[in-house]
Structure 1
Amino acid sequence: MNVKRSLSLAGHRTSLALEPEFWGAAERLADRRGQSLAAFVLDIDRTRGDRNLASAVRVAVLADLTACLADPERAASS
C-alpha cells in the first residue's frame, strides 16, 4: 500500500505516493547526502525528464542500491 506525503519543492506543494519501503530508503539516502527529504526529491525532480516523480524517486533509490552492490567499499561507508 502506498503512503502519500506532501512536500514543498521550490516553493510549490506536491503530493507523492510511494511504498513505505521506498520512503524509508529515500529518507536514508537523503540523510546520507546531508539533505532534507524535500531537497533530495527536488534534485530528482530537476533531472527526471518525462518520468513521473514517484517513478523517478524509485529509480534513484534503485540506482543507489545498484551502485552499492557494485562497489562494496561504497556500501560499507554508507
Structure 2
Amino acid sequence: MGSLKKRSVNLAGHATSLALEPEFWAALERVARQDAVSIAALIQRIDVGRGERPLASACRVYALQRAGG
C-alpha cells in the first residue's frame, strides 16, 4: 500500500483531518458512489457507528467489510 493521503472532512460541524492509504480512499469512494452519497456523508455514517475505535481504523474496517460482501 502507498503512503497516507490526508483529507479534511466536516463531521458534526467540526473540520477533521483523516489520513488513509490511497487504496482505502478509493474503496470508500466506490462505496459512496454505490450508495449515492458524498464521501463526507459516508464518513459521517462511519463516524456515528464507530464506537471507541479511531476514525481512520473504523474507515479501514468499513471499507474491508463492504469489499467482502
Q: Same fold (TM over 0.5)?
A: yes
Q: Percent same amino acid at aligned positions?
A: 54
Q: CA RMSD in A?
A: 0.6
Q: Under a length normalisation based on structure 2, what TM-score does the superposition of the two structures give? A: 0.93
Q: Find the structure with the greater CA-based Rg.
A: 1
Q: How many residues align?
A: 67
After TM superposition, where is structure 1 displaced by more than 4 Å over at least 4 residues in a row?
none
SS in structure 2 of the partner of residue 8 of structure 1: strand
| Structure 1: runs of 5+ lacking an equivalent | 68-78
| Structure 2: runs of 5+ lacking an equivalent | none
Per-residue Cα deviation, 1:20-53 (whole angstroms, up to 9, x for no partner) = 0100110110111010000000000000000000
Amino acid at match of 2:15: R
Q: Under a length normalisation based on structure 1, what TM-score does the superposition of the two structures give? A: 0.83
